[in-house]
Structure 1
Amino acid sequence: MTSAEMTVADLIDLLSGCDQDAPVRQAMNPFFPMAHRLAQVVQSVDEAGRTVVYLAEGHDADAQLGHLPPEVAAELTWQGPVQALPRRPRRRVGGN
């Protein structure tokens, strides 16, 4: 049976290509993308008896770090790339 869920081995494989000194953040809520600081890894058993690993944010007030950078939300395909509107020429004093 193939699983659509990411496994611990998949996560380790993906993380192996990252800077090992970089902080770990969790991206949450695609409709209002926010970044959260991870604090815990907990292994448990689900209702079907399968082992499951949970990544959790901390209890601190600063665990939610704010809005996810737009380029990260675009990379996750949670929102499209945002482009600035074209600039109009500035009006000058005297009408030109």
Structure 2
Amino acid sequence: MTDNRLATVGDVIAALSAYDPTTPLRIAAQPGYPMEHHLARVVRTPDDAEGDGTPPTDPPVVWLGTGEQVGYLPASAADALGWSR
């Protein structure tokens, strides 16, 4: 499997720009037992975290949170991701 990491928000925006913005979005997880999930949240730490007033020292990171499990990942999606079923 080739590592085609999307390391920045700009990488994700560029990767998604080729698709119709009304296309449903899912997260594929667990290559050995592939499942699909809805995307639930997009947050950035430390900005979106509840803080105790201590100034943040870590650099900001944007997180994509999984939501409700949809079901098993279709074989065509697993194949496109390079995952064996």
Q: What SS class does the counterpart of residue 61 from structure 2 fall into?
A: strand
Whether the aligned pair in 1 keeps the contact of 2:36 and 2:70 (CA below 8 Å) is yes
Whole-angstrom distance in 1 between the partners of 2:11 and 2:82: 20
**How many pairs are equivalent?**
71
- The structural deviation recorded for 1:5 is 5.4
Per the alignment, residue 54 of structure 1 pairs with 63
Per the alignment, residue 18 of structure 1 pairs with 19
Percent of aligned pairs with the same amino acid: 41
Q: Which has the larger radius of gyration?
A: 1
Q: 72, 89, 95: which is aligned to 2:77?
A: 72
Normalising by structure 1, what TM-score?
A: 0.67
Whole-angstrom distance in 2 between the partners of 1:57 and 1:35: 9
| Aligned CA-pair RMSD | 1.8
Whole-angstrom distance in 1 between the partners of 2:79 and 2:6: 22
Query: Gapped runs of 5+ residues in structure 1?
Result: 81-96
The higher relative CO (CA closer than 8 Å, separation ≥ 6) is in 2
AA matched with 2:74? P
- The structural deviation recorded for 1:27 is 0.4
- The structural deviation recorded for 1:50 is 2.1
Whether the aligned pair in 1 keeps the contact of 2:27 and 2:37 (CA below 8 Å) is yes
Whole-angstrom distance in 2 between the partners of 1:5 and 1:15: 11
- The structural deviation recorded for 1:6 is 1.6
C-alpha distance after superposition, 1:51-96 (max 9, x if no partner): 11111123xxxx100011111111111117xxxxxxxxxxxxxxxx
Whole-angstrom distance in 1 between the partners of 2:41 and 2:9: 14
